[in-house]
């Protein structure tokens, strides 16, 4: 039991422990999460099993406990109810039994006593009588004595009715006796007649006995004692036992239980001697006999009332009296004898006696009283008690046998019923309890099962979350890890570029590396972006579209100014090497009406085209890849003006017009300076089956699955492209194409920054001025690539420049000889450089210009023939201007040779318009220089020219070096170079006069006439021009000159922060320049800065103030809203604003409504955060029609935050740390309508 209990409690302990394990220590476990991940998994499984097991055990244990409890209760109840009653009843019963038995014994005692008394009395009387008549000689005296004795005895006998008999036997043998028969109610007097007269002689009692005596019996009246009949002689001692002298030999009284044949019950007889004198001899013996019948009677009465059995035995075991009617005597042949109790006819008495005998062993032990309970006699249980009555002569034993039923019957019955009821009740309770436990625990186990499941689910979810966290973390780390070294590489390259002692080749190489590194960095960023992106298909209006979904929100496009043309040129440059290796010609054909600067995400645009071009390149083994771009303008005001130009420009692109008509519906958008730019990427590869035109844009799709093997790739490229294009508001599709290959057409929607009209004109001008300058010239395009050649020549022709195309060396020589028939004489003249120059100049004066652009590929570089070819070309050096188009792998020896021969104009492949313009620019400029110099100083020419050449030679590399952000460097330069033209001079004056009247900013125009390149003071080259809206007034002015000034002004507006710096080497210049240009950029703006961190408050304030803006700082969103409320409220408009906290107010001016042009809003602030504040502000604005731009400032770096910012109504998003430039451009783009 004990061990079982312990086991039970052990189990319970385990159970509760396991429960605790399940529920509580989640937090603790989390810490070990990483280490025990695996174990945990298996643990989850075993967890369930163990919990089932423990539930089972718990159930069992509770049931057992309940059973034990109820059992104990039952037993205890039963025990207490029974044992106490039993004990008390037993005590009572013992008393009862004792009492019961005592009464017959007392009766017995009484009988004995009375018998003794009678006997004593008789003895005394007899003594007295006998002494009186003690005269032995006289017969008469004897007779008289007998007579007296008879009377005395009768008197005694009559007084005691219970006596059976009184006898007197005299010494001489005379007997006198009275006898009473209780049954027949007869009383007799029995006497004997003596034969001899010696009545009182001293003869021996024995000899005279019966000798001659004759016995007589007289019937007597029982009341009076009168004799009623005659005496009848009877045989002696027939009726009664006459006590003889033998019974009292020692003179003491003797007791006997006698049996007579006349009575059926035993009787008690006592005998005493009668002595003649004290201590004398015995003269007579008196005997008294009493029937024991009354004892039996009493017993019967008692038993009748109490039930049970009683009997009285002598010490020897003979029954004297009994409560039953069983006979006490048995008739033997020798006469009736007492019956022993063990032989009693009554069964119970017999059995009881036997049991007593067995229990006590022998007779002697009967002297001990026994009290036995629950003695089984027959079929019943009895109490048996025996009492020993120790009389000297007659010890008696009384036995009472009472059936248990009589005493304990009710109790036993009650106990039994109680037990039955208890047991049945406890069984019922047990069953109900078990059922309850089952139900309860089943609930608990269900709950536990659910809980375990829940916990495992939570675990799984947490694991999943953790793994996705790790993924994000990993990506973030990776991006950092990858970008950092790249940034270092680029930085080092920048340093290297700044180094003065690089040779031109080295410089070019480093620049190329720089460019590639940038591209690689960009690529890395893209890869990382895309890897963050999960792509999924979605059915929308029956058309399957791809979506890019950034893990933490939407893909958000940047909106920054960039030079689209420059980006694409850089891209083409980047791919050119690859293309040349593939033997594919890559051509960039951008129409002239393309805006110079657009607002958009340059990285994504480049990504689009990089994908498309690499895709084309992948499938094109020979031929060309053309990237075309043209513009479709939204702006209705300029639309009609532009149309003819467009038509003129895009002769090769008739689609434009139809597109324009198509897009009439989109006119609503056109108010906002939006433009659609169309692009085409054409290749001559294997092409795409028309049925797959749509499918290629889906994820993991390639037109032909087998291409994966040959070309690799994931099939994601085009999907990403399409997503990005859609995101930019355009569309992409594959269109029909003549001939083999693929033609992809896509449109992108860009915003044009600021005054969108300006740049185009500028470009137009560049072109036109060039065209004008070259109108008399002949440009010979000696290029390998058919497509680029034809496109270039078309473009030039369109501009009014005569062009001729050649595709091979022989053709070139042919044309040269045709054009310069007098070349022979020229060759002879050329003996030294100076002379040659002289000749050149003289010739320049005479002949029209002849520009030859030669592809290095025309020369036979594999053998040494190219030197001959160069020599041949040298002949024409003075007559024509040579420009070389080099391959990326053109070896240094060739370049050296070219340089030696005075070919200083070199560009790298591929040749596109910008490069062509550059070449032509250089040519024109040189010519102008010559023209100018002609009249000035001829002696200086050679050195100056040398310088000029130097700079021109470097130009292309500089040109390459600039990235999109400092794109205007070369732009400025080209303008600057243009300035040397006569036309340019006029333009300067014009614009200066016009602008001065209108501009409130600083307009500083460089005086560049006659001074170029490094000889210029760099300071003069800056144009810090802040142009106000008034410039637009010029817009309608026709004519070249006004268009010029306009374009210049326009470009200045847009490129406020650009470096107009030819000299990249000096970073200080750049910075000062940047600062200077920045200083004025936010002039007149009033900005509300809501920021709680003092550091950021200060930084941002200073930044903005440096840029010329006025800043009001508030500490939280609440104040920001308050600050805005006032000006929004018309009544408060005139009041100066003072924020409650008395925050810093730099220059608060009462302004025209609205007071603030822009809000910079930190997202996380006390009291009211940026999101809430923005919502509040937007709510305030509802109905007023105003929309104050709000720029979010946040340290969150995720694009999801940006999405959130934009969602609550913010207009833009800046991350901390604040990038000055980015902030400025953002602010400008949002406030351009105001300034």
SS3 content of the chain, % helix, strand, coil (to 5): 55, 20, 30
* CB nearer to other proteins: pick between 466 and 778: 466
Query: What residues have CB less than 8 Å from 48, skipping those under 6 apart?
Result: 449, 452
Least spacing, CB of residue 965 vs other proteins, in Å: 5
CA distance 1162 to 964: 30
Least spacing, CB of residue 502 vs other proteins, in Å: 17
Q: Which two tokens stand for residue 489?
A: 């590489």
Q: Does 106 bind other proteins (CB under 8 A)?
A: no
One of 138, 686, 1011, 1099 touching other proteins (CB under 8 A): 1099
Least spacing, CB of residue 1076 vs other proteins, in Å: 11
Q: Does 1215 bind other proteins (CB under 8 A)?
A: yes
Q: Which stretch binds other proteins (CB under 8 A): 103-111, 356-364, 419-427, 515-523?
A: 515-523
Least spacing, CB of residue 8 vs other proteins, in Å: 38
Per-residue x/- track, 1143-1162, other proteins (CB under 8 A): -------------------x
One of 164, 313, 1194, 1231 touching other proteins (CB under 8 A): 1194
604: number of Cβ within 10 Å? 22
Q: Which stretch binds other proteins (CB under 8 A): 218-226, 872-880, 891-899, 1215-1223?
A: 1215-1223
Least spacing, CB of residue 473 vs other proteins, in Å: 7
Q: Which stretch binds other proteins (CB under 8 A): 80-88, 428-436, 445-453, 517-525?
A: 517-525
Q: Does 1218 bind other proteins (CB under 8 A)?
A: yes
Query: Tokens 């185009």 correspond to what residue?
Result: 760
Torsion of CA 863, 866, 872, 874, to 10 degrees: -150
Instruction: Give the residue from 594, 977, 632, 592 showing the smallest Cα distance to 768.
Output: 592
Instruction: Give the residue from 679, 603, 622 showing the smallest Cα distance to 965.
Output: 603
One of 418, 525, 807, 813 touching other proteins (CB under 8 A): 525
254-258 and 267-275 beta bridge pairing: antiparallel
Q: Give the CB-side neighbour count of residue 1113, counting CA atoms within 13 A.
A: 21
- Cα angle 921, 924, 926 (rounded to 5 degrees) comes to 105
Beta pairing partners, 627: 588, 681
Instruction: Give the residue from 1202, 1189, 975 showing the smallest Cα distance to 1082.
Output: 1189
Beta pairing partners, 550: 533, 553
- Compute CA distances 1077 → 168, 603, 1056, whole Å: 176, 25, 6
Q: Does 1092 bind other proteins (CB under 8 A)?
A: yes
Instruction: Give the residue from 597, 525, 522, 601 showing the smallest Cα distance to 560.
Output: 601
* CB nearer to other proteins: pick between 102 and 1079: 1079
One of 68, 527, 1195, 1234 touching other proteins (CB under 8 A): 1195
Least spacing, CB of residue 677 vs other proteins, in Å: 23
| Phi/psi at 902 (5° precision) | 85, 15
Query: What residues have CB less than 8 Å from 700, skipping those under 6 apart?
Result: 714, 715, 716, 719
Per-residue x/- track, 3-32, other proteins (CB under 8 A): ---------------------------xx-
Per-residue x/- track, 1011-1050, other proteins (CB under 8 A): ----------------------------------------
Per-residue x/- track, 410-449, other proteins (CB under 8 A): ----------------------------------------
Instruction: Give the residue from 900, 770, 875 showing the smallest Cα distance to 812.
Output: 875
One of 1220, 1224, 1227, 1230 touching other proteins (CB under 8 A): 1220
Least spacing, CB of residue 1228 vs other proteins, in Å: 16
Per-residue x/- track, 924-963, other proteins (CB under 8 A): ---------------------------------------x
User: For residues 448-507, which are near other proteins according to CB under 8 A?
Assistant: 466, 469, 473, 483, 487, 490-491, 493-495
Least spacing, CB of residue 487 vs other proteins, in Å: 4
Cβ distance 720 to 548 under 8 Å? Answer: yes
Kindly write down the DSSP assignment for every residue of 1112-1155, as one continuous string.
EEESSHHHHHHHHHHHHSTGGGGSPP--TT---BSS----SSSS
* CB nearer to other proteins: pick between 530 and 806: 530
Q: Does 1106 bind other proteins (CB under 8 A)?
A: yes
Q: Does 510 bind other proteins (CB under 8 A)?
A: no
Q: Does 603 bind other proteins (CB under 8 A)?
A: yes
Cβ distance 1134 to 1063 under 8 Å? Answer: no
Q: Does 1219 bind other proteins (CB under 8 A)?
A: yes
Q: Count each helix (H run) and each strand (E run) in the chain, helices first.
A: 33, 34
Least spacing, CB of residue 1089 vs other proteins, in Å: 13
Question: Contacts with other proteins: how many residues (CB under 8 A)?
Answer: 52
Torsion of CA 1027, 1033, 1036, 1037, to 10 degrees: -80
Cβ distance 263 to 333 under 8 Å? Answer: no
Least spacing, CB of residue 1079 vs other proteins, in Å: 10
Query: What residues have CB less than 8 Å from 86, skipping those under 6 apart?
Result: 408, 411, 415
Evaluate the CA torsion angle 606, 608, 609, 612 in order and state its sign: positive
User: For residues 750-809, which are near other proteins according to CB under 8 A?
Assistant: none
Per-residue x/- track, 546-585, other proteins (CB under 8 A): ------------x---------------------------
Cβ distance 302 to 103 under 8 Å? Answer: yes
Least spacing, CB of residue 1206 vs other proteins, in Å: 14
Per-residue x/- track, 890-909, other proteins (CB under 8 A): --------------------
Q: Which stretch binds other proteins (CB under 8 A): 336-344, 349-357, 876-884, 1065-1073?
A: 1065-1073
Q: Give the CB-side neighbour count of residue 829, counting CA atoms within 13 A.
A: 19
* CB nearer to other proteins: pick between 786 and 1216: 1216
Q: Which stretch binds other proteins (CB under 8 A): 216-224, 350-358, 544-552, 1068-1076?
A: 1068-1076
Beta pairing partners, 1160: 1089, 1191
CA distance 318 to 267: 13
Q: Does 1075 bind other proteins (CB under 8 A)?
A: yes
* CB nearer to other proteins: pick between 839 and 1110: 1110
* CB nearer to other proteins: pick between 950 and 1105: 1105
Quick one: residue 374, left, alpha or beta (phi over 0 = left, psi -120 to 50 = alpha)?
left
One of 2, 739, 997, 1217 touching other proteins (CB under 8 A): 1217
Q: Does 513 bind other proteins (CB under 8 A)?
A: no
* CB nearer to other proteins: pick between 244 and 570: 570
Q: Does 512 bind other proteins (CB under 8 A)?
A: no
Query: Tokens 């973030």 correspond to what residue?
Result: 476
Query: Tokens 């710096």 correspond to what residue?
Result: 1061
Helix (H, G, I), strand (E, B) or coil at 593: coil
One of 518, 928, 991, 1031 touching other proteins (CB under 8 A): 518
| Phi/psi at 170 (5° precision) | -85, 165
Helix (H, G, I), strand (E, B) or coil at 624: strand
Interface residues with other proteins (CB under 8 A) are: 30-31, 466, 469, 473, 483, 487, 490-491, 493-495, 518, 521-522, 525, 558, 603, 963, 965-966, 1067-1068, 1070-1071, 1075, 1092-1096, 1098-1099, 1102-1103, 1106, 1162, 1164, 1193-1197, 1199, 1215-1222
């Amino acid at each position: 039991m004990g061990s079982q209990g312990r086991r039970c409690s052990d189990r319970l302990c385990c159970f509760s422990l396991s429960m605790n394990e399940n529920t509580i220590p989640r937090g603790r476990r989390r810490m070990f999460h990483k280490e025990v991940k695996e174990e945990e998994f298996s643990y989850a499984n075993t967890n369930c099993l163990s919990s089932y097991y423990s539930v089972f055990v718990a159930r069992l244990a509770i049931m057992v406990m309940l059973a034990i409890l109820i059992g104990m209760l039952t037993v205890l109840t039963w025990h207490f109810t029974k044992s106490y009653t039993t004990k008390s009843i037993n005590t009572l019963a013992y008393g009862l039994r004792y009492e019961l038995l005592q009464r017959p014994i007392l009766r017995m005692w009484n009988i004995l006593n009375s018998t003794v008394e009678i006997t004593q009395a008789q003895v005394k009387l007899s003594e007295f009588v006998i002494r009186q008549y003690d005269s032995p000689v006289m017969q008469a005296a004897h007779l008289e004595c007998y007579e007296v004795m008879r009377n005395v005895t009768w008197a005694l006998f009559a007084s005691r009715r219970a006596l059976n008999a009184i006898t007197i036997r005299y010494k001489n043998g005379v007997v006198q006796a009275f006898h009473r028969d209780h049954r027949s109610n007869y009383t007799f007097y029995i006497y004997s007649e003596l034969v001899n007269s010696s009545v009182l002689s001293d003869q021996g009692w024995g000899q005279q006995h019966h000798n001659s005596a004759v016995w007589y019996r007289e019937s007597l009246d029982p009341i009076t004692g009168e004799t009623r009949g005659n005496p009848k002689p009877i045989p002696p001692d027939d009726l009664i036992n006459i006590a003889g002298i033998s019974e009292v030999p020692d003179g003491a009284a003797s007791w006997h239980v006698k049996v007579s044949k006349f009575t059926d019950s035993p009787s008690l007889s006592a005998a005493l001697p009668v002595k003649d004198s004290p201590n004398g001899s015995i003269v007579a013996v008196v005997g008294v006999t009493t029937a024991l019948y009354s004892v039996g009677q009493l017993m019967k009465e008692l038993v009748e009332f109490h039930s049970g059995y009683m009997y009285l035995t002598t010490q020897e075991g003979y029954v004297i009296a009994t409560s039953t009617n069983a006979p006490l005597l048995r008739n033997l042949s020798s006469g009736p004898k007492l019956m022993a109790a063990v032989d009693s006819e009554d069964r119970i008495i017999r059995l009881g006696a036997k049991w007593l005998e067995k229990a006590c062993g022998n007779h002697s032990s009967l002297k001990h009283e026994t009290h036995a309970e629950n003695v089984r006699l027959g079929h019943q249980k009895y109490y048996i008690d025996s009492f020993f009555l120790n009389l000297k002569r007659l010890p008696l034993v009384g036995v009472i046998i009472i059936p248990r039923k009589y005493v304990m019957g009710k109790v036993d019955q009650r106990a039994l019923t109680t037990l039955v009821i208890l047991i049945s009740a406890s069984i019922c309770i047990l069953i109900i309890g078990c059922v309850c436990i089952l139900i309860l625990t089943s609930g608990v186990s269900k709950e536990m099962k659910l809980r375990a499941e829940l916990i495992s689910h939570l675990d799984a979810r947490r694991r999943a979350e953790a793994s996705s966290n790790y993924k994000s973390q990993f990506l973030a780390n990776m991006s950092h890890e990858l970008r950092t070294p790249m940034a270092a590489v680029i930085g080092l390259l920048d340093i290297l570029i700044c180094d003065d002692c690089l040779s031109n080749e080295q410089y070019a190489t480093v620049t190329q590396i720089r460019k590639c590194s940038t591209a690689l960095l960009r690529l890395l960023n893209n890869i990382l972006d895309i890897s963050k992106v999960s792509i999924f298909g979605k059915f929308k209006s029956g058309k399957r579209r791809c979506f890019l979904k950034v893990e933490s929100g939407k893909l958000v496009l940047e909106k920054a100014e960039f030079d689209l043309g420059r980006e694409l040129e850089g891209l083409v440059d980047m791919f050119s090497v690859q293309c040349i290796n593939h033997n594919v010609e890559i051509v960039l054909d951008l129409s002239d009406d393309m805006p110079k600067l657009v607002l958009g995400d340059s990285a994504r645009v480049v990504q689009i085209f990089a994908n498309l071009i690499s895709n084309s390149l992948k499938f094109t083994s020979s031929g060309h890849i053309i990237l075309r771009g043209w513009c479709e303008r939204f702006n209705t005001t300029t639309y009609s003006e532009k149309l003819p130009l467009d038509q003129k420009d895009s002769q090769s692109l008739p689609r434009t017009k139809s597109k324009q008509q198509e897009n009439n519906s989109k006119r609503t958008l056109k108010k906002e300076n939006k433009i659609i730019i169309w692009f085409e990427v054409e290749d001559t590869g294997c092409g795409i089956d028309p049925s797959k035109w749509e499918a290629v844009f889906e994820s993991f799709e390639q037109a032909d699955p087998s291409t994966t093997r040959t070309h690799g790739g994931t099939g994601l490229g085009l999907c990403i492209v399409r997503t990005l294009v859609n995101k930019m508001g355009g569309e992409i599709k594959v269109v029909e194409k003549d001939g083999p290959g693929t033609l992809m057409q896509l449109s992108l929607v860009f915003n044009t920054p600021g005054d969108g009209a300006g740049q185009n004109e500028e470009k137009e001008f560049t072109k036109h001025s060039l065209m004008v300058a070259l109108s008399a010239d002949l440009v010979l395009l000696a290029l390998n690539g058919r497509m680029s050649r034809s496109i270039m020549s078309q473009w030039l022709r369109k501009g009014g420049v005569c062009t001729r195309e050649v595709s091979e060396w022989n053709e070139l020589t042919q044309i040269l000889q045709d054009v310069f028939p007098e070349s022979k004489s020229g060759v002879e003249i050329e003996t030294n450089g100076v002379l040659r120059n002289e000749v050149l100049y003289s010739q320049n004066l005479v002949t029209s210009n002849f520009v030859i652009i030669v592809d290095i590929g025309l020369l036979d570089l594999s053998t040494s023939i190219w030197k001959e070819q160069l020599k041949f070309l040298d002949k024409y050096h003075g007559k024509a201007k040579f420009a070389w188009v080099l391959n990326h792998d053109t070896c240094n020896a060739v370049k050296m040779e070219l340089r030696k021969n005075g070919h200083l104009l070199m560009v790298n492949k591929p040749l596109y318009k910008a490069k062509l313009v550059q070449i032509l620019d250089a040519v024109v400029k040189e010519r102008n220089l010559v023209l100018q110099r002609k009249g000035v100083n001829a002696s200086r020419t050679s050195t100056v020219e040398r310088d000029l050449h130097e700079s021109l030679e470097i130009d292309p590399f500089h040109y390459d070096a600039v990235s999109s952000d400092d794109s205007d460097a070369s732009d400025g330069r080209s303008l600057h170079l243009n300035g040397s033209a006569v036309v340019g001079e006029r333009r300067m004056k014009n614009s200066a006069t016009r602008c001065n009247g209108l501009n409130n900013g600083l307009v500083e125009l460089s005086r560049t006439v006659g001074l170029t390149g490094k000889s210029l003071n760099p300071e003069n080259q800056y144009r810090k021009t802040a142009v106000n809206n008034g410039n637009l007034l010029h817009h309608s002015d026709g004519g070249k000159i006004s268009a010029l000034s306009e374009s210049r002004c326009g470009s200045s507006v847009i490129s406020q922060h650009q470096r107009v710096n030819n000299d990249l080497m000096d970073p200080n210049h750049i910075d000062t320049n940047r600062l200077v240009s920045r200083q004025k950029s936010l002039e007149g703006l009033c900005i509300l800065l809501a920021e709680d961190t003092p550091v950021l408050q200060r930084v941002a304030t200073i930044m903005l103030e440096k840029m010329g803006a006025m800043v009001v700082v508030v500490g939280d969103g609440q104040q920001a809203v308050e600050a805005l409320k006032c000006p929004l409220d018309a009544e408060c408009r005139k009041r100066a604003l003072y924020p409650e906290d008395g925050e810093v107010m730099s220059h608060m001016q009462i302004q025209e409504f609205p007071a603030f042009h822009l809000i910079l809003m930190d997202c996380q602030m006390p009291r009211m955060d940026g999101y809430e504040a923005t919502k509040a502000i937007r709510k305030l604005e509802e109905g007023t029609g105003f929309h104050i731009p709000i720029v979010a400032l946040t340290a969150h770096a995720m694009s999801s935050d940006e999405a959130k910012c934009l969602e609550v109504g913010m207009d833009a998003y800046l991350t901390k740390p604040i990038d000055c430039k980015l902030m400025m451009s953002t602010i400008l783009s949002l406030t351009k309508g105001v300034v």
